[in-house]
């Protein structure tokens, strides 16, 4: 939940304008921000996180700080080597090499 004594409440349309566009031109849609509040978004590890928000007078509000916390939870740690996924051919070849190595040692 956001702390309105320390954070400035922003309407969802204002939060949407803080998010850079992801596909083409324009800002993130308000419905996307609402979805982040209600359903959340999935982290790379598969955990679901929600954008902190509260209702005031029947309207949802959040804050810039809440958006930053949400973004931090969604961003994977980049302090280790990140490898691109292997292609199907590379996986097959690695499997064949492992199979041959196991057969060589008698397993």
Q: How confident is the model at residue 83 (pLDDT cuts 50, 70, 90)?
A: low
Q: How confident is the model at residue 52 (pLDDT cuts 50, 70, 90)?
A: very high
Query: Residue 84 above 70 pLDDT?
Result: no
Three-state helix/strand/coil letters over the chain: CCCCCCCCCEEHHHHHHHCCCCCCCCCCCHHHHHHHHHCCEECCCCCEECCCCEEECCEEEECHHHHHHHHHHHCCCCCCCCCCCCCHHHHHHHHHHHHHHHHHHCC
Residue ranges covered by each domain of the chain: 1-77
Share of the chain above pLDDT 90, in %: 62
């Amino acid at each position: 939940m956001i702390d309105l004594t320390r954070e400035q409440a922003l309407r969802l349309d204002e939060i949407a304008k803080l998010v850079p566009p992801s596909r083409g031109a324009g800002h993130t849609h308000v419905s996307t921000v609402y979805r982040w509040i209600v359903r959340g978004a999935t982290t790379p590890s598969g955990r679901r996180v929600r954008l902190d928000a509260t209702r005031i007078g029947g309207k949802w509000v959040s804050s810039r700080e809440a958006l930053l916390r949400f973004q931090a939870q969604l961003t994977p740690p980049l302090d280790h080597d990140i490898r691109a996924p292997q292609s199907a051919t590379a996986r097959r070849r690695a499997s064949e090499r492992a199979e041959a190595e196991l057969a060589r040692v008698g397993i």
